[in-house]
Structure 1
Amino acid sequence: MNPTTPTSATPGAAVATGDGTLDSPSLNRHFECDDVDSHAQSMDGWSLHLDQLSPGPFRGEIHEIRVDGVQLVRERVNRALLKRGEVRERATSFSIPLEVEGAGYCGGAQLRDRVTLVSNSRSQPELRTPEQHDVAILTVPGDKLASFASPDGREDARATYLVTLGGAHYEALKAFLLASFEAADASTAAFAYPHARKALHDTLLLELAHIADPEKAPIRLDETARRRVVDRVRELVTSKPDVPFTVLDVCQAVGTSRRKLQYCFEEILGTHPAYYLRVLRLNAVRRELRRHSEGTATVSDLAFSWGFWHLSRFATHYRQLFGELPSQTLKRPPR
């Protein structure tokens, strides 16, 4: 498989409405790749930054359906990722697990089967995805959902929260979503018909309204002292992406002990701070290697610049995480 493979794209034509305006075009497309940055860029309407967290060659697949302002994405990845970023302005997103292996983490809460992540915030909390996951992400403009959902003031309009669906509701929703993806490929001509698009559009909105107005109280992802520590570390690292921070640097910068820092990361992201920092640096080296060729950079120069002074150990860690040696990455065509 090539690093970036748009396997298919079936756009629908804009359709005239009764008042002479045009509906937004529909879309049914597939995309697959073996690179986390390409995967992030394929998420239309999002500005994402992904770092690979669990070891092994990465593979990501996207199936996107867009119909009259509502976006439905099926995302399948085979490795745990650290994910942060933003969704388009004035939109609400719903992340519904279809099949996951292991637990994900968001704001200190575990993401497991039947737990839907809902965000009305443009900026998303840092998320650690499960080891492998198959998830449906529905994104809808806030004004489209407002007339259907009635949260009775229970949720801040800017909040990110979790909704645990009942077993029967979850299984019905999962079956509907999987059937929608299958039907989109089996009947691509349907996107050209306004009534067919409207049927899918309205059914999606009603399902989302049910999630946005749950019977049980949602789980708010309120800030805790430990979450604030992890947030400060992330802000430190992301504000200076070219600085290879060590655990000692981080402890001094955020004013905490090594032991407390470890407790914070275990609770919020399910990992250790030393591994977190090393993974970020390894991902950064990989991005540099992908930008260069053998004639413009060397593995040792890039490794040293990101704080890896023991080259054989660096190569071992790199291969464990990405499934190939850094020299093999450098031989790829530059991006």
Structure 2
Amino acid sequence: MSVKVVDTVAADQQGASNTGWHLHYAQMSAGQFKGRLIEAELGGVQVYEEHMNTRIEQYYKAPGDALVFSFDMADAALYLLDASTQNLWITPENYREIAVVVPTGQLRALNLHRTFEDLLLTPLKSSHGAVFMGWLSAMLGRIAATADENAETSALLAEQLADDCLFVLEQSAQAQQSSTIHRVRKHRRIVQQVFDRVSAYPTEQFSAVELAETAGASFQQLRLAFAECVGMPPTVWLRMRRLNLARQALLAAGPGDTTVAEVAMSYSFWHLGRFAQAYRELFLECPGETLGRVR
């Protein structure tokens, strides 16, 4: 058994802390970021709990050869992920998530995607899920505090967690309507197509019409997809994303390498006063302070 507890002060630092994931994090609401990750490996099963105080853009690809049972503790919803899963969404403020990553072999599944594809990335709720995530959080906190599980106990606990997660999944899936599954899947496809386009052209400013055309969707479909999957309008999301990229460029610059104006304009912020105001509102400091910080 191994346990780690990491406290972070930047969104990208939080994203880099989670073992086995391909993650991109960006800050999407104002304030000094504070995060915590508690992670334990128990007989091959990974369990982690994550806390973040500001809204965060998460883009991730789940670990390979495993099924992830991710519980949104604010919404009491279970989300299922596998190695085929890539997703973009925006967390609420003061977000808490607890998850169990179960290797394929411990599920005795030959083809995870085929077995679970109808339930991937769909919010699944049940009373069993709410009870289980509370128990799981308490159990992980105890392990992090004491680290007293031996190898035999860890193996037994890993087997129990896999069985419990499948039971919660079964109970939650029974309550899920197929119409919801199809709607969520359609909206996630729209968001994914938009993300792929803006990722290919990170310095560009796109209009809502251009984003809708990129996804082959109507303006209304684009708006509804982002409302459900991201939690903010697409143009607001894009502006926040470019502010985060500008911050990364300012932090990476060496003395005399660039100016605030050059960085702002490279990310399509043509009005420097508005850029500085938006930057200060999001990160609680002026862009010049970020650029001048001693590395």
TM-score range relative to shorter protein:
0.7 to 0.9
Structure 2 residue runs of 5 or longer lacking an equivalent are none
Is the aligned partner of 1:172 residue 2:147?
no
Using the size of structure 1 for normalisation, the TM-score is 0.76
Q: Which residue of 1 aligns with 2:101?
A: 139
Matches within 5 A, 1:96-175: 96-98=71-73, 100=74, 112=75, 114-146=76-108, 155-156=116-117, 159-166=120-127, 169-175=128-134
Are 1:91 and 1:122, in contact at CA under 8 Å, matched by a contact in 2?
Answer: no
Aligned counterpart for 2:161 among listed residues 172, 179, 204:
204
Q: Which residue of 1 aligns with 2:226?
A: 265
Are 1:293 and 1:331, in contact at CA under 8 Å, matched by a contact in 2?
Answer: no
Flag the structure with higher helix content.
2
Are 1:160 and 1:221, in contact at CA under 8 Å, matched by a contact in 2?
Answer: no
Q: Which residue of 2 aligns with 1:303?
A: 264
Q: Secondary structure at the match of 1:31?
A: strand
Q: Which residue of 1 aligns with 2:68?
A: 93
Are 1:120 and 1:157, in contact at CA under 8 Å, matched by a contact in 2?
Answer: no
Identity of aligned residues (%): 26
Q: Which residue of 2 aligns with 1:182?
A: 141
CA drift of 1:56 comes to 1.8
| Number of aligned positions between the proteins | 288
- Kindly report structure 1 stretches of 4+ aligned residues shifted beyond 4 Å: 221-227, 251-260
Q: Secondary structure at the match of 1:235?
A: helix
Are 1:161 and 1:221, in contact at CA under 8 Å, matched by a contact in 2?
Answer: no
| Change in CA separation of 1:328 and 1:116 when aligned onto 2, cut-off 3 Å | same
Q: Which residue of 1 aligns with 2:42?
A: 67
Q: Which residue of 1 aligns with 2:253?
A: 292
Letter in 2 for 1:321: L
CA distance in 2, matches of 1:88, 1:125: 13
Are 2:203 and 2:268, in contact at CA under 8 Å, matched by a contact in 1?
Answer: no
Letter in 1 for 2:211: V
Are 2:212 and 2:219, in contact at CA under 8 Å, matched by a contact in 1?
Answer: yes
| Change in CA separation of 1:157 and 1:140 when aligned onto 2, cut-off 3 Å | farther
Q: Secondary structure at the match of 1:328?
A: helix
Q: Secondary structure at the match of 2:31?
A: coil
CA distance in 1, matches of 2:55, 2:233: 14
CA distance in 1, matches of 2:220, 2:133: 41
CA drift of 1:221 comes to 5.5
CA distance in 1, matches of 2:77, 2:59: 19
Letter in 1 for 2:164: E
CA distance in 2, matches of 1:58, 1:323: 10
CA drift of 1:223 comes to 5.9
Q: Is 280-289 or 323-332 further displaced after alignment? A: 323-332
CA distance in 2, matches of 1:207, 1:214: 11
Are 1:120 and 1:160, in contact at CA under 8 Å, matched by a contact in 2?
Answer: no
Are 1:290 and 1:333, in contact at CA under 8 Å, matched by a contact in 2?
Answer: no
Letter in 2 for 1:208: C
CA drift of 1:308 comes to 0.6
CA drift of 1:164 comes to 0.6
RMSD: 2.7
Matches within 5 A, 1:47-58: 47-58=22-33
Q: Secondary structure at the match of 2:155?
A: helix
